[in-house]
Amino acid sequence: MKTLLIKDCMILTMVEGEKPFLGDIWIVDGRIAKIGPSLEEEADRVILAKNRVAMPGLINAHNHASMSLLRAFSDDLKLMDWLDKKMLPAEARMTREDVYWGTTLGIAEMIASGTTAFADMYVHMDAVAQAVLDSGIRASLTRGMVFFEDDGGRRMAEALDLIDNWTGAGDGRITTMLGPHAPYTCPPKPLQGVIELARKRQIPLHIHLAETIEEGEKIRAKYNQTPTEYLHELGMFHDTHVLLAHAVHLNDSDVALLRGMRGGVAHNPVSNLKLGCGIAPVRELIEAGVTVGMGTDGAGSATTLDMFAEIKAATWMQKLKHGDPTVLPAEAALRMATIESAKLLAIDHEVGTLEAGKRADLILIDLDKPHLQPVHDIPALLAYSATGADVDTTIVNGEVLMHQRQFEAFHWEEIKREATARASRLVEGL
């Protein structure tokens, strides 16, 4: 039996209706065994957490972690130029080892800024899975599939290999999905095949949707439909859990089509702002009963994987869009980054709130700083003033991955050396 006791923290469980309270968290074999005041348990390790807030780890519901190698390489471009002229040529040079080290760099940033789980779509996914396994973080992995030309079924075979070989690995830390990339890269025939397979094997789907106006124009020209109508008509929302990344350009009838869907939308506000894509209809989706979580997208576009930046951007953007500061209050934004994202990854029975019986995925945030005093309202402080750099401790599955801002499972110098050398090679001459 392996035990960990966290003492004397303010606990924000994110369970609906529960206010923050002072107490201890008792963790046994990776799960929360008890939460309460003055727990006197013998533990293998005790973390004294005075002046710290304990909250569920943040869950990044849409990422391409390897793209951390392409951080700040190509910015201030329109999405299609950025993707076609910069990202795709650099990605064409990526080896399996590049993807391993790029993902590890992304994971290091996520652990350092309080993310304990992420959803990823990329290529060389066995390398991504290995990086997740080695790092101790939790992830939902999917092989991104574009169907421009016939590849004899190679991408699909790789997607199924990932699912067959890695689902449940790392004591359940790794889960998997099928990932058709986007409506504009997936014509009806192959996309229908993916949807049917997902339904038959009950595998969740992860796809980009309605990110830009140009995407809407392309799909309108080809199929005389909105991107959402296109996916709906192919049966994507009938009986399958679907993680929709972005969903910026939805009209009222698109939102109505998503009502009652399984899964929901990963909102990526920083990427949407930076690429000038627009403001997603978050309030309308939530009012329609659609689950809305939060993600960063890759560091190639967002530049940062700090989920606290997303939390701020999400709430500010909705307040601005509706001209109303009461829209998307602090606690609702924090819920999007925790339990609502957990629902998108279909892991909300295990993580997303701090409750006895759940996996011990949690973070400690250091309030002993000028920008986090005085402590009137913890959710407001966390949503509006905290940053990833205020995360003191990150714990996944009961394992301490960072404490007092020191990685416990990583060799940072090695990651930096590998990542910087590989990144230079990938972008040379582009």
Which residues lie near Zn ion (CB under 5 A)? 297
Q: Are 396 and 138 in contact (CB under 8 A)?
A: yes
> Is 254 an interacting residue with respect to ligand LTUXU72L (CB under 6 A)?
no
CA dist., res. 74 & res. 385, Å (int)? 29
Q: Helix count (H) and strand count (E) of the chain?
A: 18, 18
> What is the smallest separation between the CB atom of 232 and ligand LTUXU72L, expressed in angstroms?
20
Q: Is 213 exposed, middle or buried (0-12, 13-18, 19+ CB in 10 A)?
A: middle
83 binds, among ligand LTUXU72L, Zn ion, none (CB under 5 to 8 A by kind): ligand LTUXU72L
CA dist., res. 395 & res. 341, Å (int)? 18
> What is the smallest separation between the CB atom of 251 and ligand LTUXU72L, expressed in angstroms?
20
Tell me whether residue 181 is annotated as binding: yes
Strands (E), 270-329: 291-294
Specify the residue, 186 or 402, whose C-beta has the smaller distance to ligand LTUXU72L. Answer: 186
Specify the residue, 297 or 418, whose C-beta has the smaller distance to Zn ion. Answer: 297
> Is 274 an interacting residue with respect to ligand LTUXU72L (CB under 6 A)?
no
Specify the residue, 115 or 393, whose C-beta has the smaller distance to ligand LTUXU72L. Answer: 115
Select the residue interacting with ligand LTUXU72L from 91, 98, 284, 310 (CB under 6 A): 91
> Is 86 an interacting residue with respect to ligand LTUXU72L (CB under 6 A)?
no
Specify the residue, 211 or 390, whose C-beta has the smaller distance to ligand LTUXU72L. Answer: 211
Which residues have a Cβ under 8 Å from the Cβ of 156 and sit 6 or more positions away? 145, 193, 194
> What is the smallest separation between the CB atom of 266 and Zn ion, expressed in angstroms?
9
Select the residue interacting with ligand LTUXU72L from 86, 124, 138, 208 (CB under 6 A): 208
Tell me whether residue 322 is annotated as binding: no
The residues pairing with 246 across neighbouring beta strands, listed in sequence order, are: 209
Tell me whether residue 211 is annotated as binding: yes
Select the residue interacting with ligand LTUXU72L from 7, 71, 181, 241 (CB under 6 A): 181
CA dist., res. 117 & res. 132, Å (int)? 10
Q: Where do we find the tokens 């990150």?
A: 394
Select the residue interacting with ligand LTUXU72L from 5, 35, 121, 294 (CB under 6 A): 121
> Is 298 an interacting residue with respect to ligand LTUXU72L (CB under 6 A)?
yes
Tell me whether residue 376 is annotated as binding: no
Tell me whether residue 62 is annotated as binding: yes
CA dist., res. 400 & res. 393, Å (int)? 7
> What is the smallest separation between the CB atom of 211 and ligand LTUXU72L, expressed in angstroms?
5
> Is 183 an interacting residue with respect to ligand LTUXU72L (CB under 6 A)?
no
# of chain residues touching ligand LTUXU72L (CB under 6 A):
17
Cα-atom radius of gyration of the chain, to the nearest Å?
A: 21
Q: Is 409 exposed, middle or buried (0-12, 13-18, 19+ CB in 10 A)?
A: middle
What is the full DSSP assignment across 104-166? HHHHHHHHHTTEEEEEEEESSHHHHHHHHHHH--EEEEEEEE--SS--TTHHHHHHHHHHHHH
Q: Which 3 state secondary structure label does DSSP give 235?
A: coil
CA distances from 298 to 99, 377, 419, 423 (A): 13, 32, 15, 15
Binding mask 124-153 for ligand LTUXU72L (x = CB under 6 A): --------------------x-x-------
| Cα dihedral 344, 309, 113, 211 sign | positive
295 binds, among ligand LTUXU72L, Zn ion, none (CB under 5 to 8 A by kind): none
Specify the residue, 52 or 246, whose C-beta has the smaller distance to ligand LTUXU72L. Answer: 246
Q: Which two tokens stand for residue 87?
A: 């990202």
The residues pairing with 396 across neighbouring beta strands, listed in sequence order, are: 399
> What is the smallest separation between the CB atom of 297 and Zn ion, expressed in angstroms?
4
Which residues contact ligand LTUXU72L (rule: CB under 6 A)?
64, 83, 87, 91, 121-123, 144, 146, 181-182, 208, 211, 271, 297-298, 301
Q: Which residues carry a binding-site annotation for substrate?
A: 91, 143, 154, 181, 211, 297
